[in-house]
Amino acid sequence: MSRGRARLHPAVTSIAAAAALVLVILSVGVGWCDAASASAAEEEHPLDYREALEKSLLYFEAQRSGRLPYSQRVTWRGHSGLTDGLQQGVDLVGGYYDAGDHVKFGLPMAFTVTMLSWGAIEFGDDIAAAGEWHHALEAIKWGTDYFVKAHTHPFVYWAEVGDGDTDHYCWQRPEDMTTSRQAYRVDKDNPGSDLAGETAAALAAASIVFRRSNPHYSHLLLHHAQQLFEFGNRYRGSYDSSIEEVRSYYASVSGYHDELLWAALWLHRATGREDYLRYAVDNADSFGGVGWAITEFSWDVKYAGLQVLAAKLLLDGDPQAAEHGGVLEQYREKAEHYLCACLGRNNGSNVDRSPGGMLYVRQWNNLQYASSAAFLLTAYSHYLSSFSGDGDDRLLRCPDGPVTPAEMLTLARSQADYILGRNPLRLSYMVGYGRRYPVRVHHRGASVVSHKVDNRFIGCMQGFDDWFGRGRPNPNVLVGAIVGGPSRRDEFRDDRGNYMQTEACTYNTAPMVAVFARLHRLITAPAAEAAAGSDGSAEDCRRPGAALRLSAECR
């Protein structure tokens, strides 16, 4: 059973990651085959990014807690957690289960929604072009509705429902839960600046998403975001110091400084208020925003993400950015350190890769790091491509030489393709996608017969006896879930008990929603647009679509 999800190693250990194996990332992004064989494989089994996008959003419906709507598409799920918060006198029904168990952990849930919202902001047109905009909004709103409920007072936020220890002693469907639904909160006397900051970031980002379609709801989200930021900033402390029960599962190893900077930048983007930007500038050094050169981006460690946000202000020519150009340039340097490390162009201080080309950070649920890297690479490629400056300013500045936006997108695509089956095992790590995928996912609801098929109660230990230990595939397919993934040597064991590799998490899939949408849009663009300027010049190779045309000139 899962006792945490890659959260037992200090974030700072990733700073000194081992030197990466130098691989040539070809246009399809797999270092273990040449371009000809890769192209042949693509022609034989072309990847359908639109299908991947559709299924990734479907996964969030399988993770819903609470009373499910009539529009619920994952029909093997039923209502669950309908008394959450009752013993504390608050309504905490709703939200998401983070993975294969039934605890509602606030920090990873908020990060999931932040990433869904960021993707919708940057690539909303691409999501809409694929016909998935409505489902993307639903996925975000299922989380933000819960966050608003959980924020019962300006200085009170309910951080967790359920207890990881007791939950892991049982193997039950969510519809049959008999485990503790104790709820835990942070407040003035028991602060949680990291949780408050991440939730503020999620709500601020979501307020941008809903600004046009639902302005009243957008205003409500922004109101709660501002209050939560004020709470987290005024009463400082890490939430895992206030809530002992979360330490073995989602301990905030990076502390709360990154979340406060992250929230401030999202609030600046949502409001345009200069005081939020000034907060991120004034605290840039003391909070590590321009000091930490991190080589991971995750539910715990936000530095790379906030550094990319800060860099965007410079690239956009934000009027308020001019006054703070020096500090924002330092933010940009650290953002590019992360991106160059992913690309293997960082003078030896690079993110490791498996022989098959997967970005590798650590053994527990490694695909969360590959998916978050794919998102930041896709976003920054988009920012550079949209930049109106001259020449070198449109390139990623790496110690080992400049990188074009097309090359960045190529690496992002390689990670998406690896997840979808372009890997040494020819196994899709997205459940329900492709010909072969994990069928024994570590997930209580998927591994036990659906309540709608057999509504007889299944007890705590009965689930272990009758369902967990059997070797057969899960009776329910957890479509769209991205599992933890293979080892650093591309090895994977499809075993329900192998939770380090077969458990899926919401924050694995959330960053990929936008990546799949972007790749689908670029590949399905009109042929004339895709072929524009195909003389192989450096300028042409910076076009986002160049990396997707399998153009040898753009390597």
Task: Confirm whether 414 is domain-assigned.
Answer: yes
Which residues are known catalytic residues? 442
CATH number at residue 142: 1.50.10.10
Greatest extent of the chain over all pairs of C-alpha atoms, in Å = 68
Pairing mode, strands 183-187 and 352-353:
unpaired
pLDDT tens digits for range 145-182: 999 999 999 999 999 999 988 898 999 999 999 999 99
Question: How many domains in the chain?
Answer: 1
Flag whether 549 is in a domain: no
Structure tokens at 543: 């076009």
CA angle 135, 140, 143 (to 5 degrees): 130
Asked whether the beta carbons of 350 and 487 are under 8 A apart, the reply is: no
pLDDT at residue 348, as a whole number: 85
Q: Is 55 helix (H, G, I), strand (E, B) or coil?
A: helix
Distance CA 109, CA 63 (A): 11
Give the domain range for residue 68: 49-525
Q: Which of 217, 64, 89, 225 is nearest to 151 (CA)?
A: 225
User: What is the pLDDT, as a whole number, of residue 322?
Assistant: 86
State pTM to two decimals. Answer: 0.89
pLDDT in tens, 421-456: 999 999 999 999 999 999 999 999 999 999 999 999
Tell me the CA distances in angstroms from 62 to 101, 127, 159, 410, 531, one per residue in order.
Answer: 12, 20, 21, 31, 40
pLDDT at 517: 98
Is residue 98 one of the residues assigned to a domain?
A: yes
Q: Which of 147, 95, 141, 145 is nearest to 117 (CA)?
A: 141
pLDDT of residue 389: 67
| Phi, psi (degrees; rounded to nearest 5) at 489 | -105, 20
Residue 533 falls within a domain, yes or no?
Answer: no
Q: Which residues of 106-144 are buried (b: 16+ CB within 10 A; e: fewer)?
A: bbbbbbbbbbbbbbbbbbbebbebbebbebbbbbbbbbb
Predicted local confidence at residue 44, as pLDDT: 53
Kindly give the interhelix angle for 257-271 and 274-282, rounded to the nearest 10 degrees. 160
Helices within 323-366 (DSSP H only): 325-343
Q: Are 501 and 486 in contact (CB under 8 A)?
A: yes
- Examine residue 143 and state whether it is found in any structural domain, yes or no: yes
* pLDDT tens, residue by residue, 506-521: 999 999 999 999 999 9
Residue 147 located in a structural domain: yes
Strand bridging mode 183-187 / 359-360: unpaired
From the list 471, 448, 468, the residue with the least C-alpha distance to 458 is: 448
pLDDT for residue 546? 42
Cβ atoms of 394 and 542 within 8 Å: the answer is yes
Q: Give me the pLDDT at residue 21, please.
A: 25
d(CA 370, CA 378): 12
Q: How many CB atoms lie within 10 A of CB 312?
A: 24
Single-letter residue type at 492: F
Residue 43 lies in a domain: no
Residues of the chain with pLDDT under 50: 1-43, 527-528, 530-555
Judge whether 139 lies within some domain: yes
Q: What is the pLDDT of residue 387?
A: 82
| Burial of 187 per CB tally in 10 Å (0-12, 13-18, 19+) | middle
Under 8 Å between Cβ of 508 and 369 = no
